[in-house]
Structure formats: C-alpha cells, structure tokens
Structure 1
C-alpha cells in the first residue's frame, strides 16, 4: 500500500422514522473516510500519478469498509458516491486525481457491478469542515429515490498537508421517496441510466 493513512472514520446511518412516519425498510447508508498525507502538498507537479494510484487503493479499501459497516453483501449495495476535501497546501486537482482516473473500478468491485457513474464532489477546506458525498443508484442514474447525499466531517482533518477522502454506500434510497421515476426493482443496469 502506497497511501499514508493517518486515520479512517466510518459512520453508519440507519433511519427508522421520518416526519413521524416509519421507514420500512430502514434507510441505511455508510460513509468511510480516510485522512491521508498529500504527497504533492506545497508544490506544483504536472504529474499526479501518485494520487491516481492512491485513489485506486482507496476505492477498494473504503468501498469494502462501507459494505462491511452496512452488514450487507456487495450485491445488496444499491447506491454510492465519492468526495475529497483537500487541505490548504494542496489544490483542487489533487482531489480530481484521487477520485476520477482509477477509484471507480475497485469501488464497483466492492459493491458488485456499478454500471452508473459514481457521483462525486471535490473542494478545498480546513479541519472540521463538512464534506458532502453525493449519492446515486449504482446501476441506473434515473432512479430518483437514490438521489441523496451524506455529510462527513472530521474534527482534525484535513490538516494543511492532508486530504480527507470519502466513499459512501447505501443499502437503499432516501427515507420515504415519493417523487416518481424509475424504481430500484425495475432497474436493468446495462447502460448506467435505466
């Protein structure tokens, strides 16, 4: 493993009631976030290959941690998303290098399939700043019930030379979805849209 991880934070959310109504089955989602050293902190580099490789490692590690936290099999995962918060001595492109070139394939393996694009968010920030991880259905982008987000914040991260990298996985959609659209049980999952 080439990534230098200071710590990993995993959060499980299990919503049983919303607006006084029971949520059946419960709306369940997990986020796993790694606080990592930024190998390019404080300097410009045209080549960001180290972060691309780190993104690949974290796609597997954090995806598997989310599935384990949910207590489900990879096939039971329904949604996913990814995000990164770069400390002040980095740049936004550092988040892009982590999230885009190679993180998706190992994350898809961790959740079995994943035909849809993985929603993502990237930003610069200071320790304790919230990071929103956007969520969507893993196999069909048109499943509106799975358009969602999950917030993570780590009190002491990211420090100036660090990056907070997060992956979220869901076992279903939002609590009490009722705005129409394609339903999970009707997903074909071949083109990433339907």
Structure 2
C-alpha cells in the first residue's frame, strides 16, 4: 500500500544576518500511499482512519529520528490525488493519527495543526506548525512546505508529519513564552 517514503530536513542557522543559536531544525516525514477509495464514493472510510493511526506512529518514529532531539512543534497535512476526495485526507489525519504521534513525543495536549488539499503530482502543501503543549505560544506559529515530485498520482495520497525543535527564528511578537507553558489543556 505504501509506494514511497520521504524525509525533508532543514536547519536554520542564520536569519536576518543574525546567528540562530541553537539552530532550528524542522523535519517532514512523508508517505505516499494508494487511495483505496479513489474514483468512487465510499460511505465507510474506517480503513483510512485505521491507516492514519498506523502511519502516524511510523511517521513520528521517522521524523523524531531525523530531528535528533525533542520535538517542540508539530503539524500534519495530506494531498489527495485528482481522483480522491478531501474527506479521504481527513480520514487519515483526524480521527486516529494524533494519538500515536503524541505517544511517540511523550506529550502533546495541543491540537495538531493540519492542512489538506487535492492536487496533481509535484503539488506542494504548507504543513502548519504549532507548539505541541500549548496553542498560545506564538513563537511557534509556523509552516514548512512539503512535496514529492512524483506524488500524489491520481489514485494516491501524500501524507505528511512535520516536527520542529524550536519555533520561528528570532521571534519577537509576544505571546506565551515556552518557559511559561503549563501544558495541561493544550492552550497554555
């Protein structure tokens, strides 16, 4: 069912002519999978929901290994090929993917920001990022672009999980500071 795995790793060491210390590492782990419902309507999408849990665990493992340290931010996204529906992406992303991601991270009560769209091969998606423990941490409102040049095909889905060690480089717009996170309700 999985045709391809992918991994994007980027590290920002300079921003606006200033050193970013420590550098901010962001990663996106990706899976390209066959869409069992492409080209036809299906009332029951439970197979994609279950697959979201399985792939959430695997993508979290791959992303954490590439991150090389603890994740502060997370986000998820999916692109369905032209013969798919947005609901196919939603079935992967929402009902069951979050629990195994949070388990791999050891915590993460905040909602995992998400995005979905339909598109052709090579289509890009901006994976939104937010702090995993507190939604009000503005320094971690961010996004990272993800794509695979040969995916998704018409009958495929590209599923992405992004993790980051740190927020935006040189944040200075206020909001809840990382040091002040309580981390119980996902908000503060």
Q: TM-score, normalised by structure 2?
A: 0.98
Equivalent residue, structure 2, for 1:28: 25
Aligned counterpart, 1:120: 114
Q: How does 1:83-102 map to 2 (within 5 A)?
A: 83-102=77-96
Q: In 2, Cα distance between the equivalents of 1:120 and 1:60? A: 16
| Equivalent of residue 70 in structure 1, options 47, 67, 70 | 67
Unaligned runs of 5+ in 2: none
Does 2:50 correspond to 1:53? yes
The CA deviation at 1:19 is 1.1
The count of residues paired between Structure 1 and Structure 2 equals 188
RMSD: 0.6
Runs of 4+ in 1 over 4 A off after TM superposition: none
1:5 has 2:22 as partner: no
1:81 is matched with 75
Counterpart secondary structure, 1:14: strand
SS of equivalent residue, structure 2 residue 14: strand
Partner residue, 1:149: 143
Partners of 1:166 and 1:180 in 2: CA distance: 29
Give the CA deviation at 1:183: 1.0
Distance in 1 separating the partners of 2:178 and 2:120: 37
- The question of 1:160 aligning with 2:157 is answered no
- Residue 128 of structure 1 aligns to a residue whose secondary structure is coil
CA distance in 1 between counterparts of 2:55 and 2:178 reads 27
Aligned counterpart in structure 1 of residue 133 of structure 2, from 136, 139, 148: 139
